[in-house]
A and B are shown apart, each in its own frame.
Chain A
Amino acid sequence: MRNKKVYLDYAATTQISQEVLEEMLSFFKKDFGNPSSIHSFGQKAQEAVDTARERVSRFLNCSSTEIVFTGSATEANNLAIFGIIKNYLKKEIKPHIITTNIEHHAVFEPCEELEKQGAEITYLNVNKDGLIEVSDIEKAIKENTFLISVMYANNEIGTIQPIAEIGALLKKINSPKIKNSLSKIYFHTDAVQAANYLDCDVKKIGVDLLTLSGHKIYGPKGIGVLYVKQGIPIESLVYGGGQEQGLRSGTENVPAIVGMGKAIEEIGKNKPEIKKIRDLRDKLVKGILQKIPKARLNGSKEKRIPNNANISIPGVEGESLVIALDQEGIAVSTGSACSSKDLKPSHVLLAIGLSPKEAHGSLRITLGKYTTEEEIEKALKAMPKVVEKLRKISPFK
């Protein structure tokens, strides 16, 4: 037990749960059929895909025909954004998209690409807590605004955006548009980090498109979901056999779809774990702020998912901290798994007003349902030691 490694990077990925794994296994070998085949092998696979679709739709409170399985959440985000905007570009209308300056790269990059292709993008600033103001969205809306994409919970600082409020605002704005048969404003949210903890009832939160990921919810990698509200004019980005209502051609990844369905179903059973995760997170943050001089928490204290802590530690650089902690058996991350590969400080931390200097010395620590009190204690022991050592080397104490 003593030498067991401590994983505190659940926002990067989670291990697959035993229940999910067991459901998936038979679809690799025994029930390997192609859902498109009409024989019994195919039927068996089709049934499994249907069950998974049913489970996802129950979680989102929508119809199973509104679920599209994709190869990843990144792909689902791409489908949502390009899929909606493509129509307008074809008709030579300049579409305007509103998004935020703290989105995941999987939303950012499609928007930047569309900008090159002739779309107009507004990146709304968040406040110092990392939250978007609903009134800012209202102000940013133009006549040619056709899509708003705002993430539900941020992957780096865990802040929760007022998705239901934005949904309600859009309902108000869209109703005269619908009456006059004008093109409405569609609302997309990337709910990848939110799914474990927040209400994803699409009717309640009022979204037209919503993205989920398998591997952030104790399911497999290589599977994403896009909820696409009935009747939305969305175009496919992948052409072929017409699977997934024509929106995602390609033979279904049956084991992963099955895993996704089971993982989604399990979220409901995990609800009692949320309090435990929140308590452990609070204990961790409190301990860090007490034991590490000048450390501070980034992002809103209240409006954040219960498993996320993002801490700035002046005087030490993030990557050094991550590796030094890894050498002590504690796995955490800097800003985000992607940002640690380039040298730029996190765009999210810069967006909430941190200087590049502060952003360089930040850690993201994310907990999950397997996190134990012992693990948190181990982390609390290792962190001050490691920071002290690195500060001794650093010219900034």
Chain B
Amino acid sequence: MIKRTPYTKKVLEHFQNPHNYGKIKNPDGIGKVGNIQCGDVMYLYIKIDKNKKGEETIKEVKFETYGCLAAIASSSIITDLIKGKTIAQAIDFNRQKVVDSLGGLPPIKLHCSVLAVDALLEAIHNYLTKNKKPIPVKLKERHKEIEKAKKEIKKRYKD
């Protein structure tokens, strides 16, 4: 049995008043990760713009999440963290930033921060693919892993 670590104040705050939830109409990229069979599903929508330097940035971001407290809080905080960031910065984003910004997550819930980052990476992957832009190796590899995991879960639950 795993001991339950209490959630931080920050997690509870984001859970109670999540930021940037909902859909974006005609998004430039969507990342859909997780599986409802396992208890967590995240959709991340992004709109892309260019900054003064001509770099592509995330202008708008919204999420829809089915899942536990940690999943909802992770989704909420990642939208705060990546808004206005360049695509290159967003790709470099790692889950530790999500965990730290939330003031920590219980060990059993760390996978929720992974899910949030995956949703982000998948949204960017989706945008780059749609626009026939070059896809960085890191993104390509993670995308392959996510697809593989999706297939395995599908097989396990036969749906």
For the complex formed, measure the closest distance between the CB of B34 and the CB atoms of chain A, giving whole angstroms: 10
Tell yes or no: B65 within 8 A of A by CB. Answer: yes
In the complex the two chains form, what is the Cα distance from A227 to B1 in whole Å?
A: 28
Contact of A341 among B1, B12, B15 (CB under 8 A): B1
Residues of B near A355 (CB, < 8 A) are: 37, 157, 159
Tell yes or no: B77 within 8 A of A by CB. Answer: no
A320 touches B37 (CB 8 A): no
Binds B, one of A49-57, A141-149, A388-396: A388-396
Q: Could you give, for residues 31-67 of chain A, a 1 whenever the CB lies within 8 Å of some chain B CB and a 0 otherwise?
A: 0000000000000000000000000000000000000
A-B residue pair count with CB separations less than 8 angstroms: 67
Tell yes or no: B91 within 8 A of A by CB. Answer: no
A320 touches B68 (CB 8 A): yes
Binds B, one of A215-223, A249-257, A311-319: A311-319
B16 touches A327 (CB 8 A): yes
Q: Could you give, for residues 22-48 of chain B, a 1 whenever the CB lies within 8 Å of some chain A CB and a 0 otherwise?
A: 100000000000001111110100000
Tell yes or no: A368 within 8 A of B by CB. Answer: no
A341 touches B72 (CB 8 A): no
- The closest CB in chain A to the CB of B76 belongs to A393
- The closest CB in chain A to the CB of B36 belongs to A357
Contact of B2 among A320, A342, A356, A357 (CB under 8 A): A342
In the complex the two chains form, what is the Cα distance from A324 to B72 in whole Å?
A: 12
Residues of A near B159 (CB, < 8 A) are: 355
Which size class do B's interface residues fall under? 20 to 34
Tell yes or no: A343 within 8 A of B by CB. Answer: yes
For the complex formed, measure the closest distance between the CB of A291 and the CB atoms of chain B, giving whole angstroms: 21
In the complex the two chains form, what is the Cα distance from A393 to B15 in whole Å?
A: 10
Which size class do A's interface residues fall under? 20 to 34
- The closest CB in chain A to the CB of B65 belongs to A393
Q: Could you give, for residues 361-397 of chain A, a 1 whenever the CB lies within 8 Å of some chain B CB and a 0 otherwise?
A: 0000000000000000000000000000000111110
B64 touches A395 (CB 8 A): yes
B68 touches A394 (CB 8 A): no
Residues of A near B68 (CB, < 8 A) are: 317, 319-320
Residues of B near A327 (CB, < 8 A) are: 12, 16
Residues of A near B149 (CB, < 8 A) are: none
Tell yes or no: A95 within 8 A of B by CB. Answer: no
Mark A residues whose CB is within 8 Å of B: 315-317, 319-320, 323-324, 327, 338, 341-343, 345, 355-357, 360, 392-396
Mark B residues whose CB is within 8 Å of A: 1-2, 4, 7, 12, 15-16, 18, 21-22, 36-41, 43, 63-69, 71-72, 108, 157, 159
